[in-house]
Amino acid sequence: MIDIVGALMDNIISVLLITLGGVLISWSVHFVPVGGAPAAMAQATGIGTGTVQLAAGAGLTGLITAATMMGVTDSILLVLASGAIGAMIMISVTMLVGQWSYVYGVGCVPSSAKVKYDPITKDRQDLYVSQGTEGHDLPTVSYVSGIIGGGLGGIGGAMVYYYLMIIENSLPATELVGIASIFAVGIFFVNAVIPSYNIGGTIEGFHDPKFKKFPKAVISSLAATFFCAIMGVIAIGGL
Amino acid sequence: MEPLTGMGVLALMGAAATIAGASEDLESDVGSQSNPNSQVQLAPQMMYPHRIYNKAISGEPPSNALMCAIGGTVATVLLGMNASVILALTIGSLVAAMIHGTFSVSSHLGRIASQNRFKQPLYLDIVKSHTPVIIAYSFITTICILVISYLMVVVLGHPFPLPLLAFIWGITIGAVGSSTGDVHYGAEREFQNVEFGSGLNASNSGNIVRKGESGVRNGYDNSWFCAKFGGPVTGIAFGMVVFLSGWITTVFDASKSAAMGWESVLAGVIIVIILAIWNRKIEVAARNAYGTYKEDQDAEVAA
């Protein structure tokens, strides 16, 4: 019989920090400039794919680099930083090559339809939006926002994985890695999906008015990840 | 591990990733998947019947993740039975590709059948000719991902099990493919009937090009066109992701000291900054080369 209360009390720090990791992931998704199907047809600013898809792609690449680092060091700061860097490299490369596709393959100029001037470069945006579209490609503000989103998502994913790995249990090391990594991937997906309801298909980055809705998603993620963390601690701690 | 050996393995992984990226994008072009497929799906409803294979099994990341996880699981089982590595990875990829082919056919038949009311015909020659190509591309993608995952587990000593690494790289390659190469298919190839660089006016939605360079356009023609730009850039993107994310931890090995670990983080930050500057350079060059789409009303009023 598993001592559920005992397992939870012994690992209460893990429960709280896994929840924090989930909240970070949820917040990070709002930074990622995605335009969904319209962006794939150069009808909207952002990357032409879905919110969950890109956030998960970046965050899980961060999870791979974080796990590599955790295999050789116990420093949590180093593990979190590696997770952030892995995710930031993935999203930076994807956005840059996406920019190649738009500029050289499609012939469109990067522009935002949500702001008249780019908040970072102060470049005029509205004149570069083609007729009948909501902007296209990735202006600098969206690119920077995407890097921030990737970094936060990577930190969140690495934090979830780290605190799942240090739960007290009697599993062999290889099996612990297997079950902790599957839980980490699952918790990542839960928190990548929740913000989709705020974003509704397209968001340009932190300058988009939809970004202000993030507290709703963060609170929902807090509740959802808390239950995921409890289940993770009981499942791993009870084995 | 010797740094030189690590770099050699990384180079091999980068090469496999580049091939995987290109084949993943071309697989989604010949079968039409992911976001650009929304226009292929919409066309018959706007009275534009076509001869393009219409398979949207799911978004590209989940469908590639499923494919790679199946391949990784079968390969792991075979490796556990002492099969040779090459045989295990090949059989795993073959099983995954066949299952992907099954999904492709059922997805295509289901979608076309649901468009019967819009008089969209089901062309059996398209099913027979395109499905083997889709299976072949997905085989190449899966075996390359399995090679990357196997090298990471066995040579670089990554703690994750092989099927999970294959699953994660499947998600990543799908995310990269649908973000980069698919734009070339969706925004350019499907709408070559509008002026280059004009963007896609929402009123043109569904009006995809249906005439090929010779005869009526099909998935082969799209794959041929996208192989010139969309496929290779996807390959470069995924190759860069795999190589750069591994390079920082291989060159600056954190197992030697914590300081080396922080140096790897610093190297990653520098790479990201260089990529951001590169992006800005492209943006400025595009603004100068292509110019504005409309007149500056504010300036005219002021004058």
Residue B227 forms contact with A (CB below 8 Å): no
Q: Is residue B167 part of a domain?
A: yes
Phi, psi of B140 (to 5 degrees): -60, -45
Phi, psi of A203 (to 5 degrees): -150, 140
Position A3 scores a pLDDT of 79
Are residues A191 and A225 in contact, defined by beta-carbon separation less than 8 angstroms? yes
Q: Is there a single domain that holds both residue B146 and residue B179?
A: yes
Q: Is there a single domain that holds both residue B41 and residue B181?
A: yes
Q: Is there a single domain that holds both residue B181 and residue B85?
A: yes
Q: Is there a single domain that holds both residue B197 and residue B271?
A: no
Residue B194 forms contact with A (CB below 8 Å): no
Are residues A174 and A8 in contact, defined by beta-carbon separation less than 8 angstroms? no
Please, which residues 27-46 of chain A have a Cβ atom closer than 8 Å to chain B? 36-37, 39-43
Position A109 scores a pLDDT of 94
pLDDT in tens, A164-218: 999 988 888 888 999 999 999 999 999 999 999 999 889 999 999 999 999 999 9
Domain residue extents for chain A: 4-237
The DSSP letter of residue B297 is: H
Taking the C-alpha atoms of A64, A69, A75 and A77 in order, what is their torsion angle to the nearest 10 degrees?
-50
Q: How many CA atoms lie within 13 A of A74 on its CB side?
A: 1
Please, which residues 247-286 of chain B have a Cβ atom closer than 8 Å to chain A? 248-249, 253-255, 258, 261-262, 264-265, 268-269, 271-272, 275-276, 278-280, 282-283, 285-286
Size of the A and B interface in Cβ pairs below 8 Å:
294
What integer is the mean pLDDT of A20-41?
Answer: 93
Total length of chain A: 239
Q: Is there a single domain that holds both residue B113 and residue B197?
A: yes
Distance of alpha carbon A203 from its chain centroid, rounded? 14
pLDDT grade for B160, boundaries at 50, 70 and 90: very high
Record: contact A73-B180, CB cut-off 8 A: no
Q: What is the spatial distance between Cα A103 and Cα A96, in angstroms, rounded to a whole number?
A: 10
Sign of the alpha-carbon torsion through A65, A70, A73, A76 = positive
Helix pair angle (A12-29, A140-165), 10° resolution: 160
Q: What is the spatial distance between Cα B156 and Cα A238, in angstroms, rounded to a whole number?
A: 31
Record: contact B262-A81, CB cut-off 8 A: yes
Task: Tell me the two tokens of residue B173.
Answer: 């390659």
- Angle CA B236–B213–B52, to nearest 5: 70
Q: Is there a single domain that holds both residue B120 and residue B235?
A: yes
Task: Tell me the two tokens of residue B91.
Answer: 């059989």
- Residue numbers in B near A109 (CB within 8 A): 283, 286-287, 290-291, 293
Q: How many separate domains does chain B show?
A: 2
Task: Tell me the two tokens of residue A63.
Answer: 């999870």
Are residues B199 and A133 in contact, defined by beta-carbon separation less than 8 angstroms? yes
Record: contact A99-B279, CB cut-off 8 A: yes
Domain limits for position B281: 252-290
3-class secondary-structure state, position A111:
strand
- Residue numbers in A near B271 (CB within 8 A): 89, 92
Q: Is there a single domain that holds both residue B258 and residue B143?
A: no
Q: Report whether pLDDT(B112) > 90.
A: yes
Q: Is there a single domain that holds both residue B227 and residue B276?
A: no
Q: Is residue B227 part of a domain?
A: yes
Please, which residues 79-108 of chain B have a Cβ atom closer than 8 Å to chain A? none
Q: Is there a single domain that holds both residue B262 and residue B189?
A: no
Helix pair angle (B3-30, B230-251), 10° resolution: 160
Please, which residues 45-74 of chain A have a Cβ atom closer than 8 Å to chain B? 47-50, 52-54, 56-58, 60-61, 63-65, 67-73
Task: Tell me the two tokens of residue B264.
Answer: 């790897």
Q: Is residue B297 part of a domain?
A: no
Smallest CA–CA distance from B299 into chain A, residue? A127
Q: Is there a single domain that holds both residue B29 and residue B178?
A: yes
In the block, residue with structure tokens 């790479």: B271
What integer is the mean pLDDT of B144-165?
Answer: 95
Q: Is B10 left (phi over 0), alpha (psi -120 to 50) or beta?
A: alpha
Q: Is residue B29 part of a domain?
A: yes
Position A104 scores a pLDDT of 95
Record: contact A109-B278, CB cut-off 8 A: no
Q: What percent of chain A has pLDDT over 70?
A: 99
Task: Tell me the two tokens of residue A192.
Answer: 């990548």
pLDDT grade for A1, boundaries at 50, 70 and 90: low
Record: contact B292-A127, CB cut-off 8 A: yes
Q: Which H/E stretch holds residue A158?
A: helix A140-165
Q: In a mutagenesis test of the A interface, which of B42, B57, B173, B200 is the best target, namely the one with the most A β-carbons within 10 Å?
A: B200
pLDDT in tens, B230-282: 999 999 999 999 999 999 988 888 888 889 999 999 999 999 999 999 999 99
Taking the C-alpha atoms of B72, B75, B79 and B81 in order, what is their torsion angle to the nearest 10 degrees?
130
Residue B296 forms contact with A (CB below 8 Å): yes
Q: Which residue from B22, B163, B247 is spatially nearest to A82, judged by alpha carbons? A: B247
pLDDT in tens, A54-108: 989 999 999 999 999 998 888 999 999 999 999 999 999 999 999 999 999 999 9
Please, which residues 167-186 of chain B have a Cβ atom closer than 8 Å to chain A? 167-168, 171-172, 174-176, 178-184, 186
Q: What is the spatial distance between Cα B207 and Cα B219, in angstroms, rounded to a whole number?
A: 17
Are residues A106 and A133 in contact, defined by beta-carbon separation less than 8 angstroms? no
**Last residue in a domain, options B250, B270, B298:** B250
Position A182 scores a pLDDT of 92
Q: Is there a single domain that holds both residue B187 and residue B283?
A: no
- Angle CA A97–A100–A104, to nearest 5: 160
> What is the ipTM, given to two decimal places?
0.94
Q: What is the spatial distance between Cα B3 and Cα B9, in angstroms, rounded to a whole number?
A: 10
Q: Is there a single domain that holds both residue B104 and residue B201?
A: yes
Q: How far is A145 from chain B (nearest CA, A)?
A: 11
